[in-house]
Amino acid sequence: MRINTNVNSLNAQESAAATNSTLRSSLEKLSSGLKINKASDDASGLSIADKLRTQASSLGQSIENGNSASALTQIADKAMGEQSNILDIIKQKLLQATTATTSAEGRSAIANDVSKLLDQVNNIAKQTNYNGQTLLQTSATSLSATSALTFQMGETSTDVIKTSGAIQANVTGLGTTSLKTAVDTGAITATMASSQLGTIDTALDTLNGWRSDFGSTQNQIESSIRNMATAQTNIKAAESVIRDVDYAQESANFNKQNIIAQAGTYAMSQANSIQQNVMRLLQ
């Protein structure tokens, strides 16, 4: 029997240290709710979980982009819907000016109304914007056509949804400049009013084409949002499997390690007491 080196106690201490380390790790998981708190817990799992988290957050931002894009298309559509109503009214007034029962004074009043209605078409094109971006023409001061709109709807640069083309929903873009010039004089004839009916029909067709493009783009965006929302949910679930702690399992493990730690403490006390038997040999 030897007393300088208490091997039994050292073995018990080594086991107790390992148990306490496992116990601390288990307690850390229970307190944080995470199975992986540091890279050493699961290096490969951490790498996968972080990649999944980035993917989920990217999809989350893309969903926000889509919601904003949907709002933008609705704003543009409602504005062009009002322009369409105005063109309908203008056509009614031109039809009124065309008939022989309308007097010269009446046609003059109609010309004034049509001029103001066309001014409102321009005002709508000038004022319609989303977050400062003019939607129906280049800008509040430029009457030229807009560029096609591009919406980022995914994780990569190629995951985009675009409108089909440019929009110029003002008097110039709708081809009603000649009508505006005529009515600005304050008087129109029945013949002139009749000749402009086709111009209004063409303007309505052009406007409806732009509205149709925005409508189909909005449908595409909303479909993409639903798809990305489903993907994001599944990706978060996959990350949770890797990163989040199973409380039932970890609680059982914690209780197990806690019992082993108590047993280890008892073992160390017994290992130390065994050495006291040497005293009996010396008596």
Q: How high is the pLDDT of residue 122?
A: 97
| pLDDT above 70 for 133 | yes
Report pTM.
Answer: 0.77
* Dist CA 272 CA 279 (whole Å): 13
- Band (3; pLDDT cuts 50, 70, 90): low
Length of the chain: 283
Report the mean per-residue pLDDT for the chain.
Answer: 86
Residue 283's pLDDT band (cuts 50, 70, 90): low
Contacts of 143 (CB under 8 A, 6+ apart): 122, 125, 137, 168, 170, 172, 173
Q: Is the pLDDT of residue 278 over 90?
A: no
Distance CA 81, CA 93 (A): 19
Q: Which of 55-69, 155-169, 195-209, 233-247 has the lowest mean pLDDT?
A: 233-247
> How many Cβ atoms from other residues are within 10 Å of residue 160's Cβ?
12
What is the rounded CA–CA span in Å between residue 206 and residue 2?
A: 103
* pLDDT for the residue 259: 75
Cβ atoms within 10 Å, residue 199:
19
Once rounded to an integer, what is the mean pLDDT over residues 251-280? 68
If you write DSSP's letter for every residue of 85-130 in order, what string do you get? HHHHHHHHHHHHHHSTTS-HHHHHHHHHHHHHHHHHHHHHHHH-EE
Residues 6+ away with beta carbon under 8 Å from 278: 1, 3
pLDDT digits (tens, 9 = 90+) for 176-199: 999 999 999 887 899 999 999 999
88 or 166: whose pLDDT is higher? 88
Query: What confidence score (pLDDT) does residue 186 get?
Result: 80
Looking at residue 37, its pLDDT comes to 75
Q: Give 151's strand partners.
A: 161
